[in-house]
Copies of this chain bind each other. A is one copy, B any other.
Amino acid sequence: MAKRIRLEKRIVSESDRLAAGLARRFAEARVLVVNLMSSPGAGKTTLLEETARRMSGDLRMAVIEGDLATDRDARRILKAGIPCHQINTGGGCHLSARQVADALRQFDLGQLDVLFIENVGNLVCPAEFDLGERRRVVVASTPEGDDKPIKYPVAFHKADCVVLNKIDLLAATDFSPEAFRQFVRGLKPSVPILELSCRTGEGMEGWLTWVRTERQAAARGTPRGCD
């Protein structure tokens, strides 16, 4: 058992070392890097498609897509006119700093304003792994139920922003936005909670404002954690 613990520590510290190096590169390039996490099907890819459509010409975006299998999401992003690189993890339940470092060969960071990393759809494992991102966003959606924050506390506790998607389905579900907000605030009192529907466009302006504001902070070149 002692051997197992030592081994785990070594793997984690190697990953953290890589992530810290990525964070430095991102800060130097003054690019906003956002690590997007959610359950499968909460709407991460649709959020990026809609962001691309509305940001067109405004900010230079790129996307790294993480999925167990298929390049379906990358094809959707490319169709939206955004440079995109697909990572297939095989059975892997989260993206790693090593995979992100390798994927960066596909992009010229100096030519980007915002890089989104769409993690594997999984509300558990991705939360444990730093990818060097400046900001972490958790996307929840109303059909999943309002109790997800307290049932998956690590992901929500580490979030810099919580997006609540599919508010167009509120009337068709038992979801209580008030309960959801209370559960999130109980874990992280000051985190922004942005309620929106990628489908109807309601609330999208708030999300775009958050991205633009964070982009301006990244462009000032301060290291993450220092603003």
Contacts and interface: CB of A to CB of B under 8 A. Distances in A.
A146 to B, nearest CB: 10
A154 B40 CA distance: 14
Contacts of A11: 4
**7 tightest A-B contacts by CB?**
A41-B144, A143-B143, A93-B124, A39-B40, A41-B145, A39-B39, A40-B123
Contacts of A70: 147, 150-151
A169 B151 contact: no
Interface in A158-178: 166, 168-169, 172-173
Residue among A122, A125, A143 having the largest count of chain B Cβ atoms under 10 Å: A143
Residue among A69, A141, A168, A172 having the largest count of chain B Cβ atoms under 10 Å: A172
A49 interface: no
Interface in A88-129: 91, 93, 120-125, 128
Contacts of A40: 39, 123, 144, 148, 151-152
Interface string A73-98: 00000000000000000010100000
A69 B156 CA distance: 13
A154 B124 contact: no
A120 B122 CA distance: 11
B72 A151 contact: yes
